[in-house]
Amino acid sequence: MADLPVDLLALLRQVDTPTVCNAIEVAQGRRGFNRFTKGTMQHSRPGDPPIVGYARTAKIAGLAPPLEDAATIRARRMDYFRSMAGGEGPTAAVVEDLDYPNCIAGWWGEVHVAVHKGLGLAGAVTNGVMRDLDVMDDGFPVLAGSIGVSHGYVHVVDIGTPVSIHGLQVHQGDLIHADRHGALVIPEAVVGTLKAAIETVIASEAIVLEPARANGFDINLLEEVWAKFEAART
C-alpha cells in the first residue's frame, strides 16, 4: 500500500472516475489499463463526490439461509465490523455478493450506511443490492449492482479476501476510485505520478473543450485544435 499524498487525495476527490482512468494510462505511458468495473451500476447519490479509499473487503450472501449456526453468523458479522473499522485511512468498503447475478439481499441500506459512515469509511462498492435510498445518510455514496427491497437471509461469508465486482478484482488494501460511472483500482506504481497525469488529462482536453464551447467554433478550427489534442493525449 503506497502512502497517499494529501494533494493527490484532494484532487482525486474532485475528479470523476473516467478522468482517473485516462490519467492512469498517461502515467503508464500506454493505453490498455483494464482494472475497472464493466457494465452499468447503480449509484445512491449521482453527482456526489467520488469514493476514494483503500479497500476493506468482504463477501456476503443472502439468497438462501446460512448453513452455520446463528452464533457463528453473529460473531462473524461483528468480526466484519472490526475489519471495516481497521486499516489506514481513507478506507472504503468493497463487498462482493456471492449470489450475483441473482442478488436479493440489501446489505446497503439506512442502518449499514450509518454504521459504516460512523466507522469512518468513505463509501461502498458492491455487486449486490442497496435499498432505503431516500433515508440513507448523506456523505456515504454507495455504488451497487442493483436496487431492491429485501434483506433476504443476508450474512457475512468471508472477510478480508479478494473480491470480484463486475469484473474488477479487488484485494484488501487496494486503492479504489469510484463514482456513478463505475469503480477502478489505482495501481500502486502510479501513485507518485498520478497527480501530474490528471493535470495533463485536464489540460489536454481543454485544448478542444475551450474552443468548442466558444463562439466562432467551426470545422476549420476543429481541424487545427484536434491535431494539437492528438499530439497531447495518450
The whole-number pLDDT of residue 231 equals 87
pLDDT at 229 over 80: yes
What mean pLDDT, rounded, does the chain reach? 96
Q: Does residue 1 register a pLDDT over 60?
A: no
Measure the CA–CA gap between 45 and 34, rounded to whole angstroms.
25
Using alpha carbons, select from 203, 161, 4, 202 the residue that is nearest to residue 91: 4
Place of cell 465490523: 81
Q: Angle at CA 24, nearest 5°, toward 19 and 29?
A: 125
Tens digit of each residue's pLDDT (9 = 90 or more) over 185-216: 999 999 999 999 999 999 999 999 999 999 99
| 224 has pLDDT over 90 | yes
Reply yes or no on whether the pLDDT at 151 is more than 60.
yes
234 has pLDDT over 70: no
pLDDT at 89: 85
**49: amino acid identity, one letter:** P
How confident is the model over 20-40, as pLDDT tens digits?
A: 999 999 999 999 999 999 999
166 pLDDT above the threshold of 90? yes
Q: In whole angstroms, what is the distance from residue 37 CA to residue 105 CA?
A: 21
Distance between CA 83 and CA 111 in Å, rounded? 18
Provide the strand spans (E) within the chain.
42-43, 51-61, 91-97, 124-126, 129-130, 142-144, 146-147, 155-159, 163-165, 168-170, 175-179, 182-186
The distance between the two most distant Cα atoms of the chain, rounded to a whole number of Å, is 72
- pLDDT of amino acid 2: 59
Q: What pLDDT is stored for residue 3 in this prediction?
A: 75
**pTM of the predicted model as reported, rounded to 2 decimal places:** 0.94
As a whole number of angstroms, the distance between CA 42 and CA 45 comes to 9
d(CA 132, CA 109): 5
pLDDT at 233: 75
Q: Which fold does the domain 34-186 belong to in CATH?
A: Glucose Oxidase; domain 1 (3.50.30)
